[in-house]
Chains A and B, each alone.
Chain A
Amino acid sequence: MDYALQQLLNALAFGAEYSLVALGLAVVFSIMGLVNFAHGEIIGVSAYSVFLAAALGLTSPFVAVLLAVGIAALAAVVFERVAFRPVRYAPTTTGLLTAFGVSIVVQNLFMLLISPKPQSVSILNGLNQMWFFGPFAVSSLQVMELIVSGLTILALVLFLNRSTLGLAIRAASRDFATVRLMGIKANRVIATAFAISGALAGIAAVFILARRGSVSPDLGFGLVLKAFVACVIGGFGSLPGAAVGGMLLGFIEVGLLVALPQEYAGFRDALTYAIIVALLVYRPEGLLGQRIELGDKEI
């Protein structure tokens, strides 16, 4: 029972983290058609800023969390302003290559300016404790991951459905030109989408730091690949799809971890992707994506 509960919590916590990062990718992709592979470096910038602040004498974990989220949102907006705005109207492949370029440049900056080796960050370790509920022992970090991700997604849903800027982001995902006809500034809509995407990455950075206790230049890259997969599962560009896809990926990974005997553990990733491929054969547009036939055009 204890074991089953532990694994369920594992799956939910991993799923929640993938969902947060996948949502960050999806919110930008949905309005700009840009797969922002530099999203992982936003997580990196956020984590290194906590590392630096701690090195400079910051001791409050609470301030560290605010810093991580704030810097991530800011970094995303700066990336957009500096790197993505100049290629906004270029073909999508240009945007994709730009994103890879930003990712490589920023990772190298981490190596040159700080160190290629992992650096220890202990300021957020306090978030990762064991909590005891009667006979059950659970990780406080995983419980928090679940609750915080849930609340974050709720806040995002409220923002997208209630505020004018949120409505504009949803509308822009289909028809950006007409959003501008409403007198809404394109730059504002895009900057807001990037800020949201960055804040989500910052929350993920807090969880990663608390779990690993260290930061390295490639911190976010692997996670963004996973989040990309989560987006594909859910249907690229669909926000609910990103959340559901992330959760599902968490469950598939942990499920295989539990189900596979130790000697087959090496096949875990292969099996994960086999399941995803099977899923996409069955639903090529992703779980919640819309099927678009060649030649369809929304007028």
Chain B
Amino acid sequence: MLKVEKLVVRYGAVTAVRELSLEVGQGELVALLGPNGAGKSSTINALTGLVTPASGRIVLDGKDISHVRTEDRIRAGLTSTPEGRHIFSNLSVGENLRLGAATRRDPAGVRQDIERFLALFPVLSERYGQAAGTLSGGEQQMLAIARSLMSRPKLLLLDEPSLGLAPKIVVRIFDFIGELKAQGLTLLVVEQNARQALRFADRVYVVSAGTLRYDGPPARFADEHDLFNLYIGG
């Protein structure tokens, strides 16, 4: 479904991603792991087009989208829930969800999806009319994921969904990610919390200093303790 070839991302003199190649197949959940500053977010942002790569190719469903604008990539069925959630804090919970569906032209379907997420996350229902900035971190993360799903993506990129959340909440969020996978969604999940990310992962990539260090099944990855400790830590 997604094929990335020799992606290079630079910020001025800093090279954040060096010739990174990866693939995500239909229905797969692929984990992208690595320490701080490894270039994970840069990779995700290059995939959505929010940063422009220096070189490399991004192919979605056989189409080269390397030079397609962010807005049109979203319309093509790709979306990301960015690191740090980035909910619209000055908009209400409901308005956040509505904006998530901005590309859709089926009001009835949009309303149904909103109902579904409100039933799934009752907190969002209770706080529907309130400014989203007043939600707790965990609630904001759920809202951010639900907002991404409102566009009915084929491929969802999640950038550190566990960031700054209590362990219990992290488990809940990954339970939900597991359900999404079971429903057939294709996911690329960036994480520092390897244990959670590996619960549902079909395959694992590890990056460090912008370079790919491991590519394979999670079982093998978990065995190779050296790698695990070196790049992820305990």
- Measured CB to CB, the residues of A under 8 A from B are 164, 167-168, 170-171, 173-175, 177-186, 298-299
Contact-residue size bin, chain B (C-beta under 8 Å from the other chain): 20 to 34
- Given contacts A167-B99, A181-B50, list 4 more A-B pairs with CB under 8 A: A174-B89, A182-B103, A183-B71, A299-B85
A181 touches B74 (CB 8 A): yes
B43 CB-CB contact with A under 8 Å: no
Give chain A's interface secondary structure class: helix
B151 touches A178 (CB 8 A): no
Give 1 or 0 for each of B101-112: 1 = CB within 8 Å of chain A CB: 011000000000
A181 touches B79 (CB 8 A): yes
- With A175-B86, A178-B82, A181-B50: A167-B70 Cβ-Cβ less than 8 Å: no
B90 CB-CB contact with A under 8 Å: yes
Instruction: Choose among A167, A181, A185, A298 the residue that contacts B98 (Cβ–Cβ < 8 A).
Output: A167
Q: What is the CB-to-nearest-CB distance from B184 to chain A, in angstroms, rounded to a whole number?
A: 21
B95 CB-CB contact with A under 8 Å: yes
B90 touches A170 (CB 8 A): yes
In the complex, 22 of the A-B residue pairs with CB atoms within 8 angstroms, ordered by the A residue number, are A164-B98, A168-B99, A168-B102, A170-B88, A170-B91, A170-B95, A171-B91, A173-B90, A174-B88, A178-B86, A180-B71, A180-B74, A181-B50, A181-B79, A181-B80, A181-B82, A181-B86, A182-B74, A182-B100, A183-B71, A183-B102, A184-B99
B181 CB-CB contact with A under 8 Å: no
- With A164-B102, A167-B95, A170-B91: A183-B75 Cβ-Cβ less than 8 Å: yes
- Measured CB to CB, the residues of B under 8 A from A are 48, 50, 69-71, 74-75, 79-80, 82, 84-86, 88-91, 95, 98-100, 102-103, 147, 151
Which A residues are in CB contact (< 8 Å) with B98?
164, 167
Instruction: Choose among B48, B89, B91 the residue that contacts A181 (Cβ–Cβ < 8 A).
Output: B48
Complex: A167 Cα to B70 Cα, angstroms: 19
Q: What is the CB-to-nearest-CB distance from B76 to chain A, in angstroms, rounded to a whole number?
A: 9
Q: What is the CB-to-nearest-CB distance from A268 to chain B, in angstroms, rounded to a whole number?
A: 37
Which A residues are in CB contact (< 8 Å) with B100?
182
Give the residue name and chain of the B residue nearest to A166 (CB). B95
Give the residue name and chain of the B residue nearest to A185 (CB). B71
Give the residue name and chain of the A residue nearest to B103 (CB). A183
